[in-house]
Amino acid sequence: MNNITIKTPEDIELMRESGRLLAQTFKALDDFIQPGQTTMEINDFVEDYIVKTLESRPASKGQYNYQYVLNSSLNEVVCHGVPSVGKKIKNGDILNIDITLEKNGFIADSSKMYTIGDINPAAKKLVDVTYQAMWKGIQQVKAGAATGDIGHAIQKHAEQFGFSVVREYCGHGIGREMHEEPQILHYGRPHTGVILKEGMTFTIEPMINQGSHKTKTKKDGWTVITKDKKLSAQWEHTILVTKDGFEVLTLREEETVPSL
């Protein structure tokens, strides 16, 4: 616990603002994304919106020498898809857009799946089950719970539909830094791991595969794909541990917190 930053009430207010602005970014993006666009056009739109409209900073740009403001992960790409002028989105694609935003020194991190045009039922099922799995994990969050409770709930939900949970990538603490402690695994056993305390903030961001959980990284050193080339989906929110539960700091306008 020594490396975990418990946020003060003042920190939390600033994180709420970063989360609100990031949710606003996705709302703007909802009206922008359409078939035929390149993933670089999406990147440039988001950069312009965050910098000029929201007067904020895209936190991913420059982090680990990454030159873009988002990850754009299409179809079999699990995560860290690099925007490209040569990569156009088309009818039937599933696309994850992962964005970080910093305002007043605090960072919010969220990702959303976009279904482009008419997608096949199997792809839609993967996207929907992944979203449900994220919420199953979020609903475990409260002071006194353990990180293993989150991972177990996600894994149980995904696997009951025949899907698999990616092991190599996980959620993470977040605040002044994009990646803080603790790590939030999306699989695991109940009552194991780090005990949650009020004031902790972290992401929950399950990556769920249609086939095997195994992945490989492409030659660009960034893009992670499913080893079997089957589809992958991901959703992500930034979460605050409260006295009696959780608060989703990046909740979008169209979303409601599911009841237990």
Question: Phi, psi at residue 258, to the nearest 5°?
Answer: -65, 145
Cα separation, 68 vs 48, in Å, equals 12
Q: What is the mean pLDDT of residues 94-116?
A: 98
- Reported as a single tens digit per residue, the pLDDT across 2-61 is 699 999 999 999 999 999 999 999 999 999 999 999 999 999 999 999 999 999 999 999
| The pLDDT value given to residue 161 | 98
Residue 107 has pLDDT above 70, yes or no: yes
Residue 260 has pLDDT above 90, yes or no: no
> What letter represents residue 221's amino acid?
G
Q: What is the pTM of this model?
A: 0.97
Beta bridge partners of 248: 239
Q: What is the mean pLDDT of residues 118-143?
A: 98
Residues 6 or more apart from 156 whose CB is under 8 A from it? Answer: 136
- Let me know: does 82 contact 38? Beta carbons within 8 Å: no
Residues 6 or more apart from 209 whose CB is under 8 A from it? Answer: 78, 163, 164, 165, 166, 215, 226, 230, 231, 232
| The pLDDT value given to residue 32 | 96
Residue 1 has pLDDT above 60, yes or no: no
Q: What is the mean pLDDT of residues 171-183?
A: 97
- Reported as a single tens digit per residue, the pLDDT across 144-171 is 999 999 999 999 999 999 999 999 999 9
- Let me know: does 201 contact 240? Beta carbons within 8 Å: yes
> What letter represents residue 167's amino acid?
R
| The pLDDT value given to residue 120 | 97
| The pLDDT value given to residue 259 | 82
How many other C-beta atoms are found inside a 10 Å radius of the C-beta of residue 160? 10
Cα separation, 186 vs 133, in Å, equals 9
Q: What is the mean pLDDT of residues 195-224?
A: 97
Residue 198 has pLDDT above 60, yes or no: yes
Encoding tokens for residue 29? 């993006």
Q: Is 208 left (phi over 0), alpha (psi -120 to 50) or beta?
A: beta
Cα separation, 81 vs 246, in Å, equals 30
- Reported as a single tens digit per residue, the pLDDT across 221-239 is 999 999 999 999 999 999 9
Average pLDDT, the chain: 97
